[in-house]
Amino acid sequence: MVQGGGRWFTLSVPYRRPAVVDDRLAAARERLVAAATDLVAEAGWAGASVTAVAAAAGMSVGSVYQHFPSKSELVCEVFRRAAAQEVELIRAVAGEPSPARGVGLAAAAGDPVDRLVLAVALFTRRVLARRGLVHALLVAPSDSALEAQRRDFRRRYRDVFAALIRAGVEAGMLPTQDPVVAAAALTGAIGEVLAGPIPMAHDLPRDGGEAEPVVREVVEMALRCVGARPMLRGWSVAEGIG
């Protein structure tokens, strides 16, 4: 208490939660997101019920709601993180700057067509190796709250491909075309083959050398889509990306 004007006043000191409590809450939140991501990869968005997520994380249902007021908020967080990781990887091999890196990685060396080969090969390998999660990100029935994020996710892929196509046209390596239209067609074609309503991915090998013929087919399709002659000069590098 303090005195002022002949009267005593009680000062309230704001409560500051100990750092150890914040750390514990953050760790619990991460565990929930990881558990939900695994469930989505295995059984789609419907499989990531609050009850299932709580059980997988070894926590109570009440604890889930402490961190995420609704299932919608939980699945949106799963989508946001998984989508950001996938796009960041594609941007890296394409040489696109990003807030996380500032500049493209050294792995993005090469001309625009080489980098297009790298980006398409990486995307194809990611789908084959993590098809459950990528299918959920691209096309699986989901909470309506995810649709805006899904459109943005596909748009970011399209923009990476558009930048490479535009650079290829400017370098005289690709025929004149609208980069955005071509990139949208390319994004749609790859998604249709690997994760569309009639996906081939369920019948394709998951990883390893067995998947490489499929990766080559998708890359060659992408090159035809943008008017590039089939080429493998970037393939030795592409084989190490994924």
pLDDT of res. 186: 92
6 within some domain: no
pLDDT at 184 exceeding the cut of 70: yes
% of the chain beyond a pLDDT of 70: 75
Residues 87 and 202 grouped into a single domain: yes
Residues 63 and 156 grouped into a single domain: no
CATH number at residue 23: 1.10.10
For residue range 9-63, list pLDDT tens digits in order: 555 656 676 677 677 888 999 999 999 999 988 888 888 899 999 999 999 999 9
Q: Residue 230, Cβ neighbours under 10 Å: how many? A: 9
242 within some domain: no
Helices (H), 68-226: 71-94, 112-129, 131-138, 147-170, 179-195, 212-225
Q: Indicate the average pLDDT of the chain.
A: 80
The mean per-residue pLDDT over the stretch 135-152 comes to 80
Q: Residue 159, Cβ neighbours under 10 Å: how many? A: 18
Among 163-167, 190-194, 208-212, top mean pLDDT goes to 163-167
Q: Residue 167, Cβ neighbours under 10 Å: how many? A: 19
pLDDT of res. 104: 43
Residues 106 and 52 grouped into a single domain: no
The mean per-residue pLDDT over the stretch 155-165 comes to 93
Residues 90 and 53 grouped into a single domain: no
Q: How many CA atoms lie within 13 A of 54 on its CB side?
A: 15
Distance separating alpha carbons of residues 171 and 112, to the nearest angstrom: 8
pLDDT at 91 exceeding the cut of 50: yes
Query: Where in the sequence is the domain holding 127, given as residue range(s)?
Result: 76-232
Residues 209 and 120 grouped into a single domain: yes
5 within some domain: no
Nearest of 46, 52, 135 to residue 86 by alpha carbon:
135
* Least confident stretch, 21-35, 78-92, 95-109, 191-205: 95-109
Residues 43 and 154 grouped into a single domain: no
The mean per-residue pLDDT over the stretch 100-121 comes to 70
Residues 118 and 213 grouped into a single domain: yes
Residues 64 and 183 grouped into a single domain: no
Residues 49 and 142 grouped into a single domain: no
Chain-centre distance of CA 49, in angstroms?
21
pLDDT range class, residue 178, cuts 50, 70, 90: very high
pLDDT of res. 58: 93
pLDDT range class, residue 94, cuts 50, 70, 90: confident
33 within some domain: yes
13 within some domain: no
Number of domains in the chain: 2
48 within some domain: yes
203 within some domain: yes
pLDDT at 215 exceeding the cut of 70: yes
pLDDT of res. 107: 46
